[in-house]
Amino acid sequence: MSVNVFFLLVLGLLLGMFAVFKPTYATDQLTREIPKIELQSFALYEISRNGIDHVLEGEEGKMFDDRYEVTSAKFSDNTKSLSQSIRADNAQYQSDVLRLKDNVLYRREDGLEFRSEEGQYDANASVITTQGPFAITQNANRVDGRRLYYNTEHDTVSADAVRGSYQLN
């Protein structure tokens, strides 16, 4: 075998390898959304003439064009007659709607609390909803159920599969 034939075989092999093993780029790398701002251990305050209306705190926060994504989130609302806060391990805040996942805890100034694994708080409508199981407590009273709809402004609740314990004074 001549040297020319050997190099032609090697060249053919290399071209064949390039055609078979040519690099491919994952589409998720090309279309991945990049946040405008990333924050660590932060607090955002919404201030009006009346004082601090809302506070959003978190361990890690990302601001995109249309939403905020926060881990270890706490959202406080001081615009109502009773101040209230809601916490969760993961939250997404978009168009005055806070979507919460994992270890959701709502607290109101008068001692009312509710716990769930997921939920949604609409700040404009003053409504908290959850699709899964929940527990509401206040003093020695407790209500468990599913699919909560709680209007914080009118203090009205509706739910499915309700079971409760209520202490009369």
Give the number of domains in the chain: 1
Q: Is residue 17 part of a domain?
A: no
Taking residues 66-82, what's their average pLDDT?
88
Candidate from 21-25, 63-67, 91-95, 109-113 with smallest mean pLDDT = 21-25
Q: Is residue 10 part of a domain?
A: no
Cα separation values, 45 from 56, 57, 76, 77, Å: 7, 9, 10, 10
CA pair distance 2, 98, nearest whole angstrom: 74
CB under 8 A, 24+ apart: contacts of 132-141: 134/159, 136/112, 137/112, 137/113, 138/110, 138/111, 138/112, 138/113, 139/111, 139/167, 140/165, 140/167, 141/165, 141/166, 141/167
Q: At 54, which CATH number? A: 2.60.450.10
Q: Is residue 92 part of a domain?
A: yes
pLDDT of residue 121: 87
Name the pTM for this structure: 0.72
> What's the pLDDT tens digit per position in 89-115?
999 989 889 899 999 999 988 888 989
pLDDT reading at 5 higher than 60: yes
* Tokens coding 121: 């708080």
Q: Which residues constitute the domain of residue 139?
A: 30-165
pLDDT of residue 7: 82
